[in-house]
Structure 1
């Protein structure tokens, strides 16, 4: 099933090296907010993922302005969600010759702006 987002500006940040749970915590803060308000909130957040989400929102805003001729002052974040990406699996040595598996998760962040 494919979503039809005609008339909406979209930006996707793929293969972000951060856990989807940590990213979703930040997306909950900006969901359904105005474009400028969301950028202001993200600017003052200390999290690594906040910078990446900020970049994705700016990209969606540029898509809205140039491709759809929308005014970003009237736009708000219609959808903001995160999907799981591939997990890098690494190994670390442990006591008595055992190994310990380290999971390095990644995610895909989708931002959709609308009026």
Structure 2
């Protein structure tokens, strides 16, 4: 039984949040919480809160279904960061000019599932995979 948690409009840039999310992808949920607790990045706190919320959501789902629940069996099935709306601000510059400052936001999503029931993540074609490429002249390389 998978459980999802999402935080929207988090005031962390998506690029910085993705660095933190890459640390925990595919790990056991309890281990990931401890990794995020001691990570020096500022984005680790909102990601940790979303992960703890996903664990709590899994507990509630298990209670409603009258199933046994052990959070040590939960694995992070998928975790990703999407870009939220950007707040545009202006800053005065020299000689009467103004420059724009973009304050970016993120949408953080965490999906946890028990180890035995984890659904395989979508497979991406590896960088080293060979593919047949057709050139304009009709030949292949």
CA RMSD of aligned residues (A): 0.9
What does 1:87-106 correspond to in 2, within 5 Å? Answer: 87-106=86-105
Q: Distance in 1 between matches of 2:70 and 2:59?
A: 6
Structure 1 portions without partners, runs of 5+: 1-6
Q: Structure 2 length as normaliser, TM-score?
A: 0.75
In structure 1, what is the equivalent of residue 112 of structure 2?
Answer: 113
Q: Structure 1 length as normaliser, TM-score?
A: 0.91
In structure 2, what is the equivalent of residue 55 of structure 1?
Answer: 49
Larger displacement relative to structure 2 (27-36 or 43-52): 43-52
CA positional deviation for 1:48: 1.5
SS in 2 for 1:46: coil
Structure 2 portions without partners, runs of 5+: 64-68, 115-141
CA positional deviation for 1:68: 3.0
Contact 1:14 1:108 in 2 (8 A): yes
Aligned length: 109
- Flag the structure with larger Rg: 2
CA positional deviation for 1:71: 2.1
In structure 2, what is the equivalent of residue 31 of structure 1?
Answer: 25
Give a deviation string over 1:43-78, Cα, whole Å, max 9, x none.
Answer: 101211101111000000000011234421100100
Higher relative contact order, chain-length normalized (CA < 8 Å, sep 6+): 1
Give a deviation string over 1:4-55, Cα, whole Å, max 9, x none.
Answer: xxx3100001100011010000000000000111011001012111011110
Structure with the higher fraction of residues in strand conformation: 1
SS in 2 for 1:33: coil
